[in-house]
Structure 1
């Protein structure tokens, strides 16, 4: 008897920023026979029953993994995977302690990301190797990318736009205070501002504040 074809894995994408989630969704479009985006959630709870909730950590308070715990407790999300560039050992351990089933790097090519999600769906715990320092996300998108900001610079600017001070940004991103200051100087230069107030105003005007809605059935998905 011929085997029935495997159905694609259904995935809910979770983050506070539409542009980030839409970039990930578009990356999966080439693999719709293996992964289907069921919904895209910006600051809303997962509503569809999905195989995997993929939690993008962009501009999230990563030192507090409450969101991961909420996703793990949601019976509609069978498995929860963190998608991030930040591989500080404490963050990985916290994600595992909160019940995450995977911790995947944004530097993974789309094909490898899909394969990792399939492995998680099959019951494996998958943790990416620590990515090389400084490498940006592959194939995804983020606010400020068109203006030349790297994903990490954009995350710092998003946290500043949310009202975080330098110490809070350092704590949330697990970067040193000096590294945060260096990022801020580079951000100011790239966006053409000279003060924090101007940077926050620029951030508000260019999509660095969280979104609040859901997109169901991405491009004909389930």
Structure 2
């Protein structure tokens, strides 16, 4: 039987992009719920928590998922591969800490291993390109990291709050803001917020059960 999976993130485009990564592996994983509401209603073997514009894996949102009786295991899907954060997330009880640089086949294999009782940690240490998935602003030329920073700006976060949420350094946050502003053609934070609201950077609140994934 395929592993029953829920995909969790506040942005519908993010969970749909992650589901699309898995569409060629439907005989091994069955995506039964996409949720942008931070809770899972379906009974699933594994909930995959995507950290795009979300608290990191050692925070309450992940603990709440693990406390859900309908969720078998929780894995964190992230590009923040800091070893201390990884250890803190596993101490919290997560069964996986998976890099966004994993190809689709390796991600599916990791989800299967987690379901069968193995704690899986990506050996990636921040090298290599981001693989697959989707994010708001991609069609405007924004990278995934620029998009995440803009999403947090759109939510009204300060630079200090953004670095706390993402684990980035303050210099990296400022660099992403500069390149993001240049790409979207704004020169101020208020203009960036307006642009973000107009282009899908406000969090969604949706739940899709047994989703039909484009191309599947």
TM-score category of the 2 structures, normalised to the smaller one:
over 0.9
2:56 counterpart of 1:70: no
| Contact 1:193 1:199 (8 Å CA) reproduced | yes
1:171 shift after superposition: 1.8
Match of 1:158 among 151, 160, 176: 151
Deviations 1:169-210 (A, max 9, x none): 112211111111111000000111111111111111111111
* Change over 3 Å in CA distance of 1:41–1:126 after alignment to 2: same
User: 1:114: which partner in 2?
Assistant: 108
Instruction: For 1:28-39, list aligned pairs within 5 A.
Output: 28-39=22-33
8 Å CA contact 1:40–1:215 kept in 2: the answer is yes
Q: CA RMSD in A?
A: 1.4
SS at match of 2:22: helix
Gap change, CA 1:84 and 1:67, over 3 Å in 2: same
- Secondary structure, counterpart of 1:132 in structure 2: coil
Equivalent position to 2:131, from 128, 138, 147: 138
Shift of 1:49: 0.8
Which position in structure 1 is the counterpart of 2:8?
14
Q: What is the rounded CA distance, in whole Å, between the counterparts of 1:71 and 1:206 in structure 2?
A: 29
Q: Which runs of 5+ in 1 are unaligned?
A: 1-6
- Give TM-score scaled by structure 2 length: 0.94
**Counterpart contact for 2:152–2:162, Cα < 8 Å:** yes
Farther off after superposition, 60-69 or 14-23: 60-69
- CA deviations 1:107-145 (Å, max 9, x no partner) are 100000001111111100000013434x44311000111
Partner SS state of residue 113, structure 1: helix
- C-alpha spacing 1:63/1:214, structure 2 compared with 1 (3 Å): closer
Deviations 1:12-34 (A, max 9, x none): 00010000000011111110000
Q: Aligned residue for 2:46?
A: 52
Question: Aligned partners of 1:211, 1:81: CA distance in 2, in Å?
Answer: 21
Q: Secondary structure at the match of 2:149?
A: helix
Find the residue that maps to 1:219 and give its secondary structure.
Answer: coil
Q: Which runs of 5+ in 2 are unaligned?
A: none
Larger Rg, first or second structure (1 or 2): 1
Residues 38-93 of structure 1: per-residue CA shift (max 9 Å, x gap): 00011142111111000000001227610110000101000000001111223212
1:63, 1:171 within 8 Å by CA — same for their partners in 2?
Answer: no
Paired residues in the alignment total 213
